[in-house]
Structure 1
Amino acid sequence: MKKASVLIVDDDQDLLTAVRILLKPKVKQVIVERNPENLLHILSRNEIDIVLLDMNFKSAINTGNEGLFWLGKIKGQYPHIQVVMITAYGAVDLAVRSLKQGASDFIVKPWQNEHLLQTLEGIFEESKASGKPKVANLPTRDESELVGRSAIMEDLQYKMDKVAPTEANILILGENGTGKDLIAQALHKRSLRAKKSYVKVDVGALTETLFESELFGYKKGAFTDAREDRQGRFEAAHSGTLFLDEIGNIHLQQQAKLLSVLQNRQVVPLGSYQGIPIDIRLLSATNVPLKALADESRFRKDLIYRINTVEIQVPPLRERGEDIVLLANHFLRFYNQKYHKHIEGLEREALNKLRSYHFPGNVRELQYSMERAVIMSEQQSIRDVDILFSPIEKEAANDTGLATAAVTNQSLEEMERKAIQSAIERFNGNISKAARELGLTRAALYRRMEKYDI
């Protein structure tokens, strides 16, 4: 990099100063500029190898994504110049679009200096060696991880490929049943920590008393039943990935304790005063929309920024129409093997029934329906009569598969309560069977039973 000339364009003076100090001893020339309007003039008067370009400026260009505008200007006049986009956690979707429009890579701020230097060095060396713009190397996908060929899923996969190898904390958002757990597993498998431990915790199911002992561990004698030292989930995930599911459901007091651990990068087990350093990559998930999560009476904003360096939105199944048949056949193959069946496929009427349904329970509901169909079918193929939808969800759809009735939250909760009561009575109190019938986990069913005082 000693022969490289770098231009940094950002309207944050503190960032420009910091990057200039970092790069000055590493490269031949560093030029900084706050106003993107001067960008092309600078390029015309200097031999620039790499431009570090911010995605957003307080400028007169009213595009909403100025970075893409200036990227197009650079590539239009100077196609040989490598451009690395600078983005905040909320604009990663724009940064991914920039890669398709000619950017060499992007970095998310705040970044680690070593990562920035490695990124710039790799881009410079490869461009000089080949004489061609560098195309970002993406990790190899395991196509069995996620099933889907729709455009929205391809965009999701592309974004995952970019962020997975980084150390960025990721918040996975999406409705119940969309596959947030699978997304987390896929991110770990594609990360640089893939060979290390992957630890999942359903924090939404932890009581206040269990929260600290499960996450942070405890020492023998810390409380009545603490008969031996126990390692917490943070410590178990050291050097690997920790996935906190249902993080939107934890209380403010628990949030404060979690924030302290993430800030200090150490845990203090119950009954101890000695902190234990932790090195984890944090993934979190919630079905709570980000706008609702940003309500400080519900969730701390400082914690949101800690867990949400990059945000991944998992689409509901109703927005992935072309994936429904693909997923149905995937589940058919899976349950054929599991239950030693030899069902050859789905009849046209069965496929039409699936396509016309809006799946309020998302992929989980489709999986439930296909498992039941495979179990109950006595034919060589799945018929439309074999496919039944979840009793919790089906009331939300009319005959065309579109939820058109104006149903209040109270009536939806009443429908859910009745469906749960009916399932429990039908299986004579067997929670495992009732949960399976409803398409829920045992833990999720217990939470709903507690919610409705069943």
Structure 2
Amino acid sequence: METILIVDDEKNTLKMLSQGLKMRGYQALTAASGEEALQQCIKSDVDLVLLDIRMENGMDGVQTLVKLRERYPKLNVVMMSAQQDIEIAVTTMELGAKRYITKPISIDKILSSVQPFLDISRLSQENEILKSQITPTDEMVGESAVISHLRLQIERVAGSKLGVLISGENGTGKQLVANAIHRQSRRAAKTFIPLNCAALPDELIESELFGHERGAFTGADSRRQGRFELAHGGTIFLDEIGDMSLKAQAKVLRVIETGEVERLGGNQIRTVDVRIIAATNKHLPEEIENGRFRRDLFYRLNVVPITVPPLRERTEDIPLLVKYFAERLQLNIASTPKVIDPGAYAVFQSYSWPGNIRELKNIVERLLIMVNRDVVMAPDVAEALSLIPQPTSLYPTSSATLNQGALQAPLGIPLYKPGTALGKMMDTAEAQCILAALGENKWNIRRTAEALEVERSNLYKKMNRYGISRPSSEG
């Protein structure tokens, strides 16, 4: 519902226009002066202003127009006047007014004058929302038993209003699952708004979620809607919710319980109808025990738990995924289309894919660009995979080596020890990879994260998990 602010010092005009607009399905606000109009714009989201030029109290219409355009440069303003003054009309248009209409004004005349600008404003907002929904892939590819079971879970939960918590390793496609739930739900015609909680610092995540008023904090130069407001009627996807601060968690819990949000720096309560789908790569019960996640929020989100399987548990899907990525990626590559040789799939399937589907997509893209032949062969895949840092000394080659006990990696991290569980071996191998990459990049975190193809926030977490810190000799 579009909101139109009527600014006029004549009470009868305000009453007549506001009643007429409300009867046509618009939300109408009124202001009897320019100063009051500015206050209304601070308190409410206004799509268009009907502004009288000649007002006796305080600022006139031209002065008010200047102030409105300074504070809200994208706000649509239509001027009204009882007199047809060409000079004033030209002046207001030069100052940013969209149109100049003369009184007396009927509701039909107003709507025919302002509707194009309301349509543009609505389309612009919808375009921004659609941009936020673009994902690397929009299909769930695979025919394995685990993927078939996942599709069945999605189908069953999509039609309900229940909260969903999606868990899985990085790169498994948790957002793809959330998007599929939305598309199969009754909210499919409305918006799907994603937010990666790990990608934002604590001081910004609340602004992203709940919005802010102008001046709420340093840098808040204009009023902004939050993701919950943008997702009204649709679905909000909170990815990596385990990284959200406890303060933000409390506010999300309030939205779930009351359906209300309040912008930072504001005092107006707004009601939203939003379905929340959350995802995490963390074990939240452990986070709860360590005081990093709210137990009550976990129970609210975890009504229907869904686990996305890692790629190593669905290797039969890898050939289908490789073909899918190759077809999609070659649409954007200005080179001769390439074919994947059937023998190459076995090499793809032999790798453990710690980065899951995201890593597979990156490797396929690299092969399509770097291979200079029309056919990608098994040795090409093997070479591409060999370029990924591997802890080769994880596998000792003689019993004499085994009897020496734990081999030592840089900084004293034990690389291998007889009898070590596979999970522990994988952890130490990952730590060794991180150490090697840090050394090669002179402990530059950004370059190291790019080399390992992980987000910086995840690299910091892994370094903390393995107790990796810059040696004192490094400065």
Which interval holds the TM-score relative to the shorter structure? 0.5 to 0.7
Instruction: Decide whether aligned partners of structure 1 residues 224 and 352 sit closer, same or farther in structure 2, where only a CA change above 3 A counts.
Output: closer
Instruction: Decide whether aligned partners of structure 1 residues 170 and 368 sit closer, same or farther in structure 2, where only a CA change above 3 A counts.
Output: same
Q: How does 1:108-257 map to 2 (within 5 A)?
A: 145-257=139-251
| Contact 1:188–1:198 under 8 Å retained in 2 | yes
Q: How does 1:372-387 map to 2 (within 5 A)?
A: 372-387=366-381
| Contact 1:199–1:242 under 8 Å retained in 2 | yes
Partner of 1:304: 298
Matched letter for residue 162 of structure 1: R
Identity of aligned residues (%): 39
The DSSP-based 3-state class of the residue aligned with 2:352 is: coil
Q: Does 1:438 align with 2:452?
A: yes
The DSSP-based 3-state class of the residue aligned with 2:212 is: coil
Cα separation, 1, equivalents of 2:158 and 2:356 = 24
| Contact 1:217–1:233 under 8 Å retained in 2 | yes
| Contact 1:347–1:384 under 8 Å retained in 2 | yes
Matched letter for residue 415 of structure 1: C
Q: CA deviation at 1:355?
A: 1.6
Between 329-338 and 169-178, the greater mean CA deviation after superposition:
329-338
| Contact 1:392–1:415 under 8 Å retained in 2 | no
| Contact 2:171–2:359 under 8 Å retained in 1 | yes
| CA deviations over 1:296-355 (Å, ceiling 9, x no partner) | 623222101111221111011111121011111111112222213444432244212112
The DSSP-based 3-state class of the residue aligned with 1:262 is: helix
Match of 1:319 among 313, 317, 320: 313
Matched letter for residue 453 of structure 2: G
Q: How does 1:70-81 map to 2 (within 5 A)?
A: none
Partner of 2:346: 352
| CA deviations over 1:129-168 (Å, ceiling 9, x no partner) | xxxxxxxxxxxxxx96100100111111011011112211
| Contact 2:193–2:236 under 8 Å retained in 1 | yes
Q: CA deviation at 1:188?
A: 1.4
| Contact 1:347–1:381 under 8 Å retained in 2 | yes
Q: CA deviation at 1:256?
A: 1.9
Q: CA deviation at 1:410?
A: 5.9
CA RMSD of aligned residues (A): 3.3
Partner of 1:259: 253
Cα separation, 1, equivalents of 2:385 and 2:212 = 44
Partner of 2:289: 295
| Contact 2:391–2:429 under 8 Å retained in 1 | no
Cα separation, 2, equivalents of 1:390 and 1:262 = 47
Q: Does 1:389 align with 2:385?
A: yes
Partner of 1:115: none
The DSSP-based 3-state class of the residue aligned with 2:324 is: helix
Q: CA deviation at 1:175?
A: 0.8
| CA deviations over 1:266-305 (Å, ceiling 9, x no partner) | 1111111221111101111001135434536232221011
Instruction: Decide whether aligned partners of structure 1 residues 407 and 188 sit closer, same or farther in structure 2, where only a CA change above 3 A counts.
Output: same
Q: CA deviation at 1:407?
A: 2.7
Cα separation, 2, equivalents of 1:449 and 1:150 = 34
Question: Structure 2: any 5+ residue segments left out of the alignment?
Answer: 1-136, 397-420, 471-475
Q: Computing the radius of gyration over CA atoms, which structure comes out larger, 1 or 2?
A: 2
Matched letter for residue 385 of structure 2: F
Cα separation, 1, equivalents of 2:330 and 2:395 = 30
Matched letter for residue 238 of structure 1: H
Match of 2:431 among 405, 413, 417: 413
Instruction: Decide whether aligned partners of structure 1 residues 392 and 300 sit closer, same or farther in structure 2, where only a CA change above 3 A counts.
Output: farther
Instruction: Decide whether aligned partners of structure 1 residues 192 and 293 sit closer, same or farther in structure 2, where only a CA change above 3 A counts.
Output: farther
| Contact 1:331–1:370 under 8 Å retained in 2 | yes
Cα separation, 2, equivalents of 1:430 and 1:211 = 22
The DSSP-based 3-state class of the residue aligned with 2:361 is: helix
The DSSP-based 3-state class of the residue aligned with 1:365 is: helix
Matched letter for residue 247 of structure 2: Q
Cα separation, 2, equivalents of 1:437 and 1:200 = 26
Partner of 1:47: none
Cα separation, 1, equivalents of 2:212 and 2:376 = 52
Cα separation, 1, equivalents of 2:255 and 2:457 = 26
Instruction: Decide whether aligned partners of structure 1 residues 391 and 435 sit closer, same or farther in structure 2, where only a CA change above 3 A counts.
Output: farther
Q: CA deviation at 1:171?
A: 0.7
Instruction: Decide whether aligned partners of structure 1 residues 411 and 380 sit closer, same or farther in structure 2, where only a CA change above 3 A counts.
Output: closer
| CA deviations over 1:385-425 (Å, ceiling 9, x no partner) | 322238667449979xxx95853746633522432564x57
Cα separation, 2, equivalents of 1:392 and 1:443 = 21
| CA deviations over 1:78-119 (Å, ceiling 9, x no partner) | xxxxxxxxxxxxxxxxxxxxxxxxxxxxxxxxxxxxxxxxxx
The DSSP-based 3-state class of the residue aligned with 1:407 is: helix
Matched letter for residue 436 of structure 2: K
| Contact 2:284–2:293 under 8 Å retained in 1 | no
Instruction: Decide whether aligned partners of structure 1 residues 255 and 413 sit closer, same or farther in structure 2, where only a CA change above 3 A counts.
Output: farther
The DSSP-based 3-state class of the residue aligned with 1:191 is: coil
Matched letter for residue 437 of structure 2: A
Partner of 1:330: 324
Cα separation, 1, equivalents of 2:438 and 2:260 = 41
Matched letter for residue 198 of structure 2: G
Q: CA deviation at 1:442?
A: 7.3
Match of 1:284 among 274, 278, 282: 278
Partner of 1:133: none
